[in-house]
Chains A and B, each alone.
Chain A
């Protein structure tokens, strides 16, 4: 029907057709146009009509034709279509104009509305169709006359529809126009749909398309679409109201999960509605309103809802809920501030709990009998274990502290990955929160080092390379959060030195791996000293082997050699406080070794100093061990041999008993005098030799736990053990564990001295380069230079600056602002 027929070029002869032909031709045309309007077009011939119109145009009467057609269509719309449409508007629909309540007489209004919309839609489609045909017929007129001067006949007729159908009054006396009814009806339908009803979407879509196809002005600019001028503002206003109310309603329900679920649904619904029912162009506008009134103004409250908010979701791993919250928050805020805040707060809260429990645990275990009833099964067994090893309680809790934090981190990593879409901003704020509470625990560095110690000693046994890797990575991740990395270094070195010297390390590969990981994380400077500890160990191995060779070649074959395994340590690289007695300020004379050992000692010294002249060897008896073969003579006369693995001091003590007649005893003071072992070590060693139940190689008189100067010690020939090889540990020595208060103060003091040095070095470095610098700049630079290792106390820096001024490395060169100069 609409298909264009091929148009033959008109013959020239027609151009002089008579004027009075116009009326007769128009008569024919007008009849046909009415036929088209009443949908009887099938009976008429397009070609004939076209030719008529063409003729008229050739007669130079195109303008008249244009006016005539316009008049005809106007009459048609006024007399027929308008009536049809207004009649479809029921009285109830007119009355319902002012009611905004969707539920109010909804079914009745809906029915009437649908009827109206259908009528309007039909009228519009008919009009479009008819006008299409009319345009085809009048094509030549459009082209010749209208072009450039008047809107096309099609556009004009569309405007006629706007003026005489849409803008006409609903009732003769009413000021209400058809558009008003249309608007309110569609909005009513939308509100029905928003409250969950199914509505006739295609119908609405058609009516919207009509509004989109009509313009306010004859020039038809995009912005003058009726949809934009008439409908959209009303839609936006209605949406705004709806979402304000919706926000309130959902908040009143008081359930964050529901809120977020519904809000998320709403977003999807609105998108769909705009795409399929209304106009795509409205989508961003409606969504912006939704974001603003439903989400932005409520998200803060929703996130913090007691009992159902983000905190609840985090505690119960409601990933879907969290994801919804994240999506909603991301819609309105690039930084997701509301969500981030709650997450951070929760992390710090949980972290503090972990911190507290690491402090409380030892006390709780001590009070286990009374508090045992509230613990669950798992807790009870753990407490039982703690009681078995009271001295290690704190160490256990230190390691548990790390484990707990790692578990917490894993949990939040999971949430982050699954619910927060790997959001970078949130990731860094989670990190900051962890760092925050980890550094609240003043012993975090020590605990973390103990964690590594425990794992490198025992934890990694039986684990695959991959598992070890993950374990170490986790630890390193915690190291990243720790601000005082220098403190960690101190503890790590201390623990490492014990692992190395006592050969407690489970795997040297893992140790090396750990160092390379640390190097990557905190830099070369940090691991330098730790690496040189390893180097010492390797060099010492060679040394031991070389010395053995040397003895085999040159040694006195008569004398039974004592095997020596030596570790030569560079004193500046190792934590020497380990080896010296920390409490004793006075000079401690070196321990007197038994003759055999002393010979060995001087033999090695000769060997070593021969190779490295100018060095000084000092012997650290407190760190070594010795293997002894001991013979016990039973009262029956039988002998029993045991191989004892003891500390160097214990060896010295035991060998003293070789020198005295069988059955005689030595007092504490006598032992002390003959061995010159420091009191502290002597007591501990005597305790492990004479008090510890399984390793009583000595008898003590009187038998008690404490060691007094007058106590007597006697070789215990009745010593018995189920094993041939007996390892005698030193009471509360050896193992790496949490420091007590005194040790801690000591470490802190040492730390502060060391830091003072680092700060001064940094200040001098900076000033040397910059020559003059204001106080605040110098502070900032110093802080940033040192932040890799630790966070210095501002007052400490100030004191260091003062001291440097005093020692004339710096001078004050300005007052406003305070400025320092470098004194070369």
Chain B
């Protein structure tokens, strides 16, 4: 075996643990992916998924046990069984973690899992039993409010997940529900509130006032960026009219400022 750096050795070892494959297989995939562990694992499962490899047979078993219509859709878990599965790993349907699991397993739509993605997703995390999946789900639950990157990934994936079939934009009602999920702590999100400003309430109020228009992808994504910014500095020192914010957010800034002006006047009185 050629000499590998300690990091590389570690990666080989991890790969081995996750995929239950030999070191030589691990190095092959890691080299091909330029020593990027997640990519290498992705590649491994893409190759292995087709064959009924015994390395992932545990996951296959689990997948098959939730599979409801083996004749018609052998590679899909439908909504009913998906809910059972989520229940079994201790994930509520109305919490952010549920969406994170959907992101992890790349659900094509709400409450639907595909075989390949299911196996790939869990294999990356090294889970091959319900017990370990439950553990992992708990970890994710803890990470979401504290890991902005994960939060953003899940948040953005949610847009694709929540769109109605054949629509480009998200209906206002759905968007509002999801915001309520993501931007409060009740369901494991991040609270979009600061000392002086109930941002989330105002944002919903603002959009309602504009006629509940559907939310497009850009606006959806920028709202999250905007949220982070507003939590950093609630006086909105980072905002400028020349900025690249979507028009709706520019208008929202004016809305917030007007509202604050009114409130402070009321305080004076």
Contacts and interface: CB of A to CB of B under 8 A. Distances in A.
B244 A818 contact: yes
B247 A806 contact: no
A773 to B, nearest CB: 11
Interface string B208-251: 00000000111101100100000000000000001110110010
Nearest to B221: A812
A818 B243 contact: yes
A798 interface: yes
A799 B249 CA distance: 12
Contacts of A371: none
Given A798-B247, A799-B247, A802-B247, A812 B242 contact: no
Given A802-B218, A806-B216, A806-B218, A815 B225 contact: yes
Interface string A205-238: 0000000000000000000000000000000000
A756 to B, nearest CB: 13
A812 B247 contact: no
A292 B244 CA distance: 49
User: Considering residues A799, A802, A820, which has the most beta carbons from chain B within 10 angstroms of its beta carbon?
Assistant: A802
B247 A775 contact: no
Contacts of B247: 795, 798-799, 802
- Max chain B CB contacts within 10 Å: which of A779, A795, A805? A805
A801 B247 CA distance: 10
A776 interface: yes
Q: Which 10 A-B pairs have the closest CB atoms?
A: A818-B244, A775-B244, A805-B218, A806-B216, A802-B246, A799-B247, A798-B247, A806-B218, A802-B218, A802-B247
Contacts of A805: 217-218
27 contacts: A775-B242, A775-B244, A776-B242, A779-B242, A795-B247, A798-B244, A798-B247, A798-B250, A799-B247, A801-B244, A802-B216, A802-B218, A802-B219, A802-B246, A802-B247, A805-B217, A805-B218, A806-B168, A806-B216, A806-B217, A806-B218, A812-B218, A812-B222, A812-B244, A815-B225, A818-B243, A818-B244
B246 A775 contact: no
Nearest to A808: B217
Nearest to A811: B218
Interface bin, chain A: 10 to 19
Contacts of A806: 168, 216-218
A118 to B, nearest CB: 77
Nearest to B225: A815
Main secondary structure of the interface of B (DSSP, over half): helix
Interface string A790-824: 00001100110110011000001001001010000
Contacts of A802: 216, 218-219, 246-247
A810 B240 CA distance: 22
Given A775-B243, A806-B168, A818-B243, 6 more contacts: A776-B242, A799-B247, A802-B216, A812-B218, A812-B221, A815-B225
Interface string A661-705: 000000000000000000000000000000000000000000000
A820 B222 CA distance: 13
Contacts of A775: 242-244
Majority DSSP secondary structure for residues of A touching B: helix
Interface string B242-266: 1110110010000000000000000
Interface string B1-28: 0000000000000000000000000000
Interface in A75-124: none
A775 B241 CA distance: 12
Contacts of B242: 775-776, 779, 794
Interface of B: 168, 216-219, 221-222, 225, 242-244, 246-247, 250
Contacts of A795: 247
A776 B241 CA distance: 11
A795 B247 CA distance: 8
B129 to A, nearest CB: 40
B183 to A, nearest CB: 19
Contacts, number: 32
A815 B243 CA distance: 10
B248 to A, nearest CB: 9
A779 B243 CA distance: 10
Contacts of B222: 812
Nearest to A801: B244
A78 B219 CA distance: 101
Contacts of B243: 775, 818
A815 B244 CA distance: 9
Nearest to A819: B244
A794 B250 CA distance: 13
B209 to A, nearest CB: 19
A802 B217 CA distance: 10
Contacts of B168: 806
A815 B221 CA distance: 12
A779 B245 CA distance: 13
Nearest to B228: A815
Nearest to A817: B244
Contacts of B250: 798
Contacts of B246: 798, 802
Contacts of A776: 242
A802 B242 CA distance: 14
A399 B182 CA distance: 62
Nearest to A805: B218
A145 B216 CA distance: 104
Nearest to B238: A816
Contacts of B218: 802, 805-806, 812
A798 B251 CA distance: 12
A798 B219 CA distance: 13
A548 B93 CA distance: 81
Contacts of B217: 805-806
A779 B244 CA distance: 10
A714 to B, nearest CB: 55
Nearest to B246: A802
Contacts of A815: 225
A798 B242 CA distance: 9
B193 to A, nearest CB: 23
B120 to A, nearest CB: 26
A794 B217 CA distance: 22
A798 B247 CA distance: 7
A805 to B, nearest CB: 5
Contacts of A794: 242
Which of A799, A812, A820 has the largest count of B CB atoms less than 10 A from its CB?
Answer: A812
A340 to B, nearest CB: 29
Nearest to A799: B247
A812 B220 CA distance: 13
Interface string A561-584: 000000000000000000000000
A776 B242 CA distance: 7
Contacts of B225: 815
A7 to B, nearest CB: 89
B247 to A, nearest CB: 6
A794 B243 CA distance: 11
A779 B225 CA distance: 21
B173 to A, nearest CB: 20
Interface string A605-648: 00000000000000000000000000000000000000000000
A775 to B, nearest CB: 4
A352 B168 CA distance: 49
Nearest to B229: A815
Interface string A754-797: 00000000000000000000011001000000000000001100
A528 B216 CA distance: 38
A657 B15 CA distance: 96
A776 B219 CA distance: 19
A813 B128 CA distance: 37
Contacts of B244: 775, 798, 801, 812, 818, 820
Interface in A344-375: none
Nearest to A778: B244
A752 to B, nearest CB: 15
A794 B244 CA distance: 11
Which of B168, B222, B225, B244 has most chain A Cβ within 10 Å? Answer: B244
A779 B247 CA distance: 15
